[in-house]
Amino acid sequence: MTQDLAELSRVLYSPTAIALYLSAAFVYLYALTTTVGRRDERERGRKAQMLGAVLTVLGLTAHIAHEIIRGIVQSRLPLGNMFEVTSLMALVGILVGVGYLTFVRKRPELNGFALIGGALLMGMSMLLYAEPGPLMPILDTWWRPFHVSMLVAAMGIFAAAFVFTGLYLLRDTGERAVAAGRTSVTRGSTVGAAYVGDLDGGGPDLDDDPDARDHDAEYRKALRAGIPIVKLAVGTFVVTGMVSWVWWVTEDSTRVGVTRFLTVNLVMVAAALLARWFVPFLPSTATLDGLAHRTVAFGFIMWTVGTIAGAMWAEVSWGRFWGWDPKETGAFLTWVAYAGYLHARATRGVQGRKAAWIGIGAFVVMMGTYLIANYVIVGLHSYAEL
């Protein structure tokens, strides 16, 4: 019976929830491409958005059901090992990302990116899958749900912020390239530039004006062409490699290790190339940058509170509040990195692209310390069942 339930919870998670999220993401991404189309296309896009919403809700249902059943099977909150933490991180990331975009920002067409980010995290968590089991006694306290869920939520939020930051950098690169090309080729002519970022429906009449439609399609192509494809792919591979080497070095069999390393990297490269294709349909750089900043600010507060709670728990449980354990060092590094991002945003001359790169770096630091402290360096926090 328990075995069946455990199996059910696994199936609900993978492939059910992952597949639902991914299909919802693709439907949303299709809807995004229709925002610049003709009236009938926009109508189809609206329908696609509704389908995407249904798929998202189904995915969330499967995901939450997975968490509940897993909790019942092991009669404890599913927050005890790496798989469970990463799974909940994805759930929080999707809930916060989709909820924020849909209800606060009212830009549901961007949900696809949040969903893809969440699905990627879930795919990664399957590399860490552990069968349900009981909890170590030291974890059996009310401190755990508080401290861990706080930090996990913050990680999910930082993941959403990372997606926004990456999209901002892509869009900004494209826009800059178009602006540079325009001044050099057409000597400052602004033909085709009138519709930049003008996506809330007030743009030119694309239904009746074929010229405007052509301009628009050309502009989209120019934006995409402005992002060098090889540089993007190699860059994504290198940046992902800064984190994913952990799989390479910790796997006993080199073949499995390299396969995992390459899988993670190539999936991220594919995601980056997909995002590049969707760059013309993104909102303005200002909106994306603002989204990234708001999510980081929220995540930063959660991270701060979660880390303080962790120090309080450590004082109770281990008799010391801070000992520079690898996990504690990781929490500190992540905190410093995101504090650096927030300060950069407030500093003249570092704003914009430079701040965004700091944001990307901060996410690399977070994921890197998370994996390293669990896999590579053994410390007091190493409860993870690997």
Partner 1 sequence: MSTESTLPPEPNPAIRRPSRRPEPGGPFAFVWDSVKMAWRWLTRMRTALYLLGVLALLTVVATAVPQEPNVPSTVGRWLTGEEGPGAGVSRVLDAFGAFDVYGSAAFLALTLLLFISLTACLIPRIRAWVRLVRTSKPPLVRHLGGQDQLATFTTDRTPDEAHAAAQQVLGERHWRLRAHAGDPPEERTAKPAQVAGEKGLWSREGGSLLFHLSFYVLLAAIVFGQLLTFEGQRGIVEGDTGFRDTAVSYWSYNPGRWFDETDHAGWRLDLDTFHVDWVRDPLAAGAGQPTEFRSEVTVTPPDGEPYQAEIDSNRPAMIDGMRVTQLDWGYAPRVVVEVDGEVVHDAFVHATASDGGFFSGAVKAPAAEPDVGLELFFYPFAPEGEDGQPVPTGAPWDDAPMLLFRQYRGDLQLGATQQTVNELDTTGLESEGGAFLRPGQSVELGDVTIRYPEHRRWVGYQVSSRPQIPALLAGAGLLVAGLIPALYAYRRRLWVLAVRDEATGRTLVTVAGRAFQRPEAFEAEHAAIVAELSAATGGGFDEAAEPPDRSDGSGYPRATEDRTDHDGDRPDHDDLTEAPTIRDRRTDVLPAPARSGPPSEVVRR
Binding site for partner 1 (CB under 8 A): 6, 74, 105, 131-138, 140-141, 143, 197-198, 200, 202, 284-286, 289-290, 293-294, 297, 300-301, 304-305, 308, 311-313, 315-321, 323-324, 326, 329, 332-333, 336-337, 339-340, 342-352, 355, 377, 385
Cβ closer to partner 1: 15 or 134? 134
Q: How far is the CB of 111 from partner 1 (least distance, A)?
A: 18
Cβ closer to partner 1: 52 or 326? 326
CA 74 vs. chain centroid, Å, equals 29
Give the alpha-carbon dihedral of 353, 359, 365, 371, to 10 degrees: -120
Distance CA 268, CA 274 (A): 10
Residues 6+ apart with CB under 8 A from 287: 107, 197
Residues 6+ apart with CB under 8 A from 332: 307
Q: How far is the CB of 263 from partner 1 (least distance, A)?
A: 27
Q: How far is the CB of 141 from partner 1 (least distance, A)?
A: 4
Q: How far is the CB of 169 from partner 1 (least distance, A)?
A: 14
Cβ closer to partner 1: 241 or 290? 290
Q: How far is the CB of 377 from partner 1 (least distance, A)?
A: 6
Give the alpha-carbon dihedral of 234, 352, 244, 372, to 10 degrees: 150
Q: How far is the CB of 300 from partner 1 (least distance, A)?
A: 7
Cβ closer to partner 1: 248 or 322? 322
Cβ closer to partner 1: 273 or 377? 377
Residue 274 is encoded by which pair of tokens?
């997909």
Cβ closer to partner 1: 277 or 318? 318
